[in-house]
Structure 1
Amino acid sequence: MSTSAQTIYEKLEALNITLPAVAAPAAAYLPFVQTGKLVFLSGHLAKKDGKVIVGQLGKNITTEEGKAAARAIAIDLMGTLHAAVGDLGKVRRIVKLMSLVNSTPDYTEQHLVTNGASELLGDIFGDAGKHARSAFGVAQVPLGACVEIELIAEVA
């Protein structure tokens, strides 16, 4: 079920993706915690060029922009996961994503926004990237970010 580390890193390179370093927590939490074979990654905010992408879906951010933001979060999550385990080849499965989409009360495409992260994880990890998930519309996300996503992974 797993993909070799070389293949994962080759896929990232082919997509011109460079994994970022782990960002320092902005509050009283850890960026990741491992218990047994599960690694829990704290929520990551949507960023572009190191700056939080601020906005609200259904108001001033389109679904496609939100999807791109979720994809960018998936890249950040993979960078944190790499830091947590040292080698993405140790990832046996992406178990679950939870996505918080800063959206207006009438916006209903949170699932499409979250596909930006889900699709990239599937492309990189193959079958091991297929995961359970939740996508919620929320009134606000820290720092006004348009999307926040957390991840749970199983590792060797």
Structure 2
Amino acid sequence: MSIEARIAELGLALLQASEPKGNYIPFKRTGNLLYISGQLPLGPDGKVPERWTGKIGSKVTEAEGNAAARACLLTILSQARLALGSLDRLHACVRLGGFVNAEPDYTTPGAVVNGASDAIVDIMGEAGRHSRTTIGVATLPLEACVEVEAVFEISERPEHM
């Protein structure tokens, strides 16, 4: 089954790939690796929805943060499709990096980033299993509660056709 078909089967939809807000590019391919810059949980209007702004542990619940991380993953996949032309060129998710806008006493940022990790495994199966780093941070752009970056191994031709 193709990755896009699996996304639809799960009742998910890719989110709009956003333009960079600084001096960087949204993705970079080198060899058979595709690096996706950190993505925020943006809504259809290109803004972070109010429910996903602020710190985990005070304004935003862990469950809301988990949903925001899932949204970040869907934006990551939008960037990958833009970079490759087809998500079916994704061979494996190598790594996710998660940054959680957290209160100083919030000690489980991994529970938030599990939203992205669970989503990529749901979508890609075993090929979605990845290494990961998750850290709590003092602030994120646009007051987002979470940001996620990714590295994928890619192939020259579609994998899942």
Structure-2-length-normalised TM-score: 0.89
How far apart, CA to CA, are the structure 2 residues paired with 1:60 and 1:100?
17
How far apart, CA to CA, are the structure 2 residues paired with 1:21 and 1:57?
24
The answer as to 2:6 corresponding to 1:7 is no
Q: How many residues align?
A: 151
Structure 1 range deviating more: 98-107 or 18-27: 18-27
Shift of residue 105, structure 1, vs aligned partner: 0.6
Structure 1 range deviating more: 6-15 or 139-148: 6-15
Structure 2 match to 1:78: 77
Task: Tell me, yes or no, if the aligned pair for 1:70 and 1:117 is still in contact at 8 Å.
Answer: yes
Structure-1-length-normalised TM-score: 0.92
How far apart, CA to CA, are the structure 1 residues paired with 2:69 and 2:81?
18
Shift of residue 85, structure 1, vs aligned partner: 1.1
Structure 1 match to 2:122: 123
The answer as to 2:17 corresponding to 1:18 is no
One-letter amino acid of the counterpart of residue 131, structure 1: H
Inter-CA distance 21–60: structure 2 relative to 1 (3 Å threshold): closer
Q: Which secondary structure does the structure 1 equivalent of 2:55 belong to?
A: coil
Q: Which secondary structure does the structure 1 equivalent of 2:2 belong to?
A: helix
Structure 2 match to 1:3: none
The answer as to 2:51 corresponding to 1:57 is no
How far apart, CA to CA, are the structure 2 residues paired with 1:20 and 1:65?
17
Q: Which secondary structure does the structure 2 equivalent of 1:151 belong to?
A: strand
Task: Tell me, yes or no, if the aligned pair for 2:15 and 2:71 is still in contact at 8 Å.
Answer: no
Shift of residue 9, structure 1, vs aligned partner: 1.6
Shift of residue 7, structure 1, vs aligned partner: 2.7
Structure 2 match to 1:42: 37
Shift of residue 133, structure 1, vs aligned partner: 0.3
CA RMSD of aligned residues (A): 1.2
Task: Tell me, yes or no, if the aligned pair for 2:26 and 2:36 is still in contact at 8 Å.
Answer: yes
Q: Which secondary structure does the structure 2 equivalent of 1:48 belong to?
A: coil
Structure 1 range deviating more: 47-56 or 22-31: 47-56
Q: Which secondary structure does the structure 1 equivalent of 2:5 belong to?
A: helix
CA offsets, 1:58-108, max 9 Å, x none? 111010000000001111111111111111111111000110000011001
Q: Which secondary structure does the structure 1 equivalent of 2:39 belong to?
A: strand
How far apart, CA to CA, are the structure 2 residues paired with 1:110 and 1:102?
9
Shift of residue 129, structure 1, vs aligned partner: 0.4
Unmatched 5+ residue regions in structure 1? Answer: 1-5
Shift of residue 49, structure 1, vs aligned partner: 3.7
How far apart, CA to CA, are the structure 1 residues paired with 2:74 and 2:15?
8
Identity %: 39
Q: Which secondary structure does the structure 2 equivalent of 1:73 belong to?
A: helix
